[in-house]
C-alpha cells in the first residue's frame, strides 16, 4: 500500500512539474501582465497578439530597468517620479487605442525608444 502511495505521489509530482513547465512557457509568450485579468479592450488585444505581447514585454523590461537604475533610485528620484507620470500618460494614450492593433503597436514602437534613451542618458 505504501509503495502504491509513493508511486502515486511521484506521478502527481511529475504532473505538477509538467504543468508548471507548460504554464511557465505560456507565460513567456504573453505580455508583461497576466492575461487572466485582462478586461480593457487594449489588454485583450495585447493578449490576443503575439507581436503586441512581445512589445509589451520589451516595454515592461525597459521601464523596470530605467526605474531600477542607480540614477533614478539614488541620484535623481524626482526624475523617477517624472518617468512614472509620463508612463501613466502613455498608458492612457495606449488604452485609447481600444482593439486597434496598429494604433497599439505604434504607441509601443514610439515609447520603447524613449525609455531606452533614459537608460543611455543615465549611464553616461
What is the pLDDT at residue 124?
Answer: 47
Distance of CA 89 to the CA centre of its chain: 17
Write out the DSSP string of 21-52: HHHHHHHHHS-SS-GGG--SHHHHHHHH-HHH
Q: Is residue 55 part of a domain?
A: yes
Question: What band does 22 get if pLDDT is binned at 50, 70 and 90?
Answer: very low
Whole-angstrom Cα distance, residue 48 to residue 39?
Answer: 12
What are 35's three cell numbers?
492575461
Q: How do residues 31-46 score in pLDDT, each as one tens digit?
A: 888 899 899 999 999 9
What is the pLDDT at residue 122?
Answer: 56
Q: Which structural domain, as residue segments, surrounds residue 63?
A: 31-123
Question: What band does 4 get if pLDDT is binned at 50, 70 and 90?
Answer: very low
Q: Is residue 4 part of a domain?
A: no
Helix axes 41-48, 50-67, angle to 10 degrees: 110
Q: Is residue 93 part of a domain?
A: yes
Considering its fold, how many domains does the chain have in total?
1
Q: Is residue 62 part of a domain?
A: yes
Q: How do residues 62-121 score in pLDDT, each as one tens digit?
A: 999 999 998 888 888 999 999 999 999 999 999 999 999 999 999 999 999 999 998 866
Task: Give this prediction's pTM.
Answer: 0.72
Amino acid at each position: 500500500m505504501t509503495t502504491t502511495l509513493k508511486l502515486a505521489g511521484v506521478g502527481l509530482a511529475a504532473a505538477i512539474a509538467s504543468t508548471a513547465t507548460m504554464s511557465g512557457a505560456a507565460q513567456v509568450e504573453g505580455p508583461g501582465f497576466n492575461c487572466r485579468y485582462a478586461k480593457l479592450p487594449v489588454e485583450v488585444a495585447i493578449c490576443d497578439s503575439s507581436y503586441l505581447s512581445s512589445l509589451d514585454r520589451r516595454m515592461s523590461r525597459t521601464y523596470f530597468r530605467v526605474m531600477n537604475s542607480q540614477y533614478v533610485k539614488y541620484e535623481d528620484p524626482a526624475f523617477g517620479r517624472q518617468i512614472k507620470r509620463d508612463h501613466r500618460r502613455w498608458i492612457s494614450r495606449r488604452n485609447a487605442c481600444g482593439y486597434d492593433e496598429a494604433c497599439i503597436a505604434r504607441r509601443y514602437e514610439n515609447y520603447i525608444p524613449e525609455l531606452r534613451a533614459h537608460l543611455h542618458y543615465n549611464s553616461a
